[in-house]
Amino acid sequence: MSHITTLLPPLPAPPAAAKPLSGARIAGMLFMALWILLFGGIALMMYFGWDWDKFAKYGPRYISGLQVTLGLVAASIVAGAVLSFPLAFARMSTNRVLSGIAYVYVYLFRGTPLLAQVFLIYYGLGSFRPQLEAVGLWSFFRDAWNCAFFSFALNTAAYQAEILRGAIESVPRGQREAAASLGINTRISFWKIIMPQALIVALRPYGNEIILMVKASAIVAIVTVYDLMGETKYAFSRTFDYQTYLWAAIFYLVIVEILRNLWNVLEARLTRHLKR
Amino acid sequence: MSDMVSAILNVIDPFCGPVGVFTLFAGKGILSCGDTGWGDKLASGVYVTASLALLTLPFGLLLGFLVALGKRSDDAYARLAANIYTTIFRGLPELLTLFIVYYGLQILIEKGLTAAGMNERFEINAFFAGMIALSVVFSAYCSEVLLSAFQAIPRGQYEAGAALGIRPAKTMVLVIIPQLVRIALPGLGNLWMSLLKDTALVSVIGLSDILRETGVAAKSTKEPFLFFGIACLLFLLLAIISSFFFSRIEIWARRSEAAR
């Protein structure tokens, strides 16, 4: 009877098979090389074109532009959220007239470019100057920032109303019925049972909407608001230095990436009870 | 021959033809066609906007498809390169991308001309710059839509293709892409709508699209509310027409599912 008397000594893992040089690999290396060249070129351009005078002159303007951008986006997102509640309820209402009006509002604001809406309010309301003066609103609409804020709030209200409606309708009917059968009144069941579940569904679309607003806010530079983009255009018109646009690009990319990562963390935190 | 074509086009012209909206409803006012009104200018703006969006679409789709292929490639470098592309162009405001492309190309070409010994000012075509910037932005979003559509197609489809002895490239064209189109169509429809709206930005670098033509008209007639309102309605018209076509295309794409 034979049996094993010695065990094989532990052997190192076999060497990994060399990857064949496929087309995808060559293309991948080529495009990576292109990116490295591009970024290297930009970095060199910034290094050799660096000018302390310009930095001292336009650096603080960029920071104030950044503050204007963030302030405008925050204000219009909040105002839009407030407006979106009645809109979403009107859209879900069984009253045909009410839901029709809300539908037309949402369709109008989502179907036309934001730039056209800003122009319509900033330049167009000038046609109604006597009427606006009569009700005392002219001093509000004379300012470009206020006009931008007003049109952004109306625009994002339309998008947020759709997000909210989709989220509320995604909560199963059984939840509402269960609450009703337990004798919980409608108001409490809406705020304590429906909304918490709906807002988790709405979290991701809300994040996307904020990012879209940050990006869309660049167009206010066209109606003479000195936001980040406006300051960039100002600096470019004074210096004709291409770097000005690259700095704005860096600022916007950093804002968007921060928001995106913040939202990932927020979502992971808020949905931790749903993980299986 | 070309006279006949243009005569036919004149008759069916929806804005300024004999049965066009501006001819029928504007009368002799500031919206009429011809020397006294702005109708023909607005109509030409609509054609510029529509042709810019339509010409951007194929390039954007092709570029987006290639980027999506890069993202699902086995090679780490290809994935990284594709991800850098989408991170950058989805993170930048469209207006900034437009300026970077417009001035960047101009500077590049001028430097090239100087290096070649020619010393002249060069003005890049606004339509061309707009097309490049919009295709780049469109392709960045499009690659994400196509990537999630790719993930919805089971592996078995590729394996079945291989088992039948069809080469990978042919499997892609004959087996995968027809299913991909069907899955990605709603997402692509949304992207088309935002592309249509983004074309408005090109008015900023001087292309005579809807918004620029209405802006010029608003300035010289001092009727800004009327003209910018019309601009919104014209964009809405384009959106309604495209959603009509999209619902047709979706029915066409789902024609094989109908019998089940």
The verdict on pTM exceeding 0.80 is yes
Which of A31, A117, A257 is closest, CB to CB, to B232? A117
List CB contacts (< 8 A) between B204 and chain A: 222
Which of A111, A112, A245 is closest, CB to CB, to B99? A245
- Tell me how close the Cα of A99 comes to any Cα of chain B, in angstroms: 20
Structural domain contains residue A11: no
Q: What is the pLDDT of residue B57?
A: 95
d(CA A262, CA A206): 13
Write out the two tokens for A261: 């990562």
- Tell me how close the Cα of B190 comes to any Cα of chain A, in angstroms: 11
Q: Which residues contact A83 (CB under 8 A, 6 or more apart)?
A: A153, A154, A157, A160, A161
For an interface test with B, give the residue of A25, A117, A120 to mutate (most B CBs within 10 A). Answer: A120
Structural domain contains residue A268: yes
pLDDT tens-place string over residues B51-96: 999 999 999 999 999 999 999 988 889 999 999 999 999 999 999 9
- Tell me how close the Cα of B239 comes to any Cα of chain A, in angstroms: 6
- What end-to-end distance do the CA atoms of chain A give, in Å? 53
Which residue of chain B comes nearest to A214, CA vs CA? B93
d(CA B121, CA B37): 36
Q: What is the pLDDT of residue B2?
A: 64
- In chain B (260 residues long), the average pLDDT of successive 10-residue segments reads 68 68 64 73 90 95 94 90 94 94 88 80 85 95 95 93 93 92 92 94 90 89 89 93 92 74
| Residue B80 at interface with chain A, using a CB cutoff of 8 Å | yes
Q: What is the pLDDT of residue B12?
A: 67
Structural domain contains residue A50: no
Q: What is the pLDDT of residue B18?
A: 64
The CATH fold of domain B45-253: MetI-like fold (1.10.3720)
Structural domain contains residue A90: yes
Which of B77, B78, B236 is closest, CB to CB, to A112? B236
**Could you give the 3-state DSSP secondary structure of residue B132?**
helix
- In chain A (276 residues long), the average pLDDT of successive 10-residue segments reads 83 82 85 93 87 88 94 96 95 93 94 94 87 84 91 96 94 93 93 92 93 94 92 90 90 95 93 83
Q: Domain with A226 in it: what CATH number?
A: 1.10.3720.10
Contact between residue B127 and residue B207 where contact means Cβ atoms under 8 Å apart: yes
For an interface test with A, give the residue of B225, B226, B242 to mutate (most A CBs within 10 A). Answer: B225
Structural domain contains residue A158: yes
The count of structural domains within chain A is 1
Asked if B197's CB is within 8 angstroms of A113's CB, the reply is yes
Q: What is the pLDDT of residue A194?
A: 93
Q: What is the pLDDT of residue A242?
A: 86
- Tell me how close the Cα of A234 comes to any Cα of chain B, in angstroms: 13
Amino acid in the structure at residue A16: A
Domain interval for residue A157: 58-274
List CB contacts (< 8 A) between A222 and chain B: 95, 204
Place of tokens 């499997």: B171
Q: What ipTM was reported for this prediction?
A: 0.86
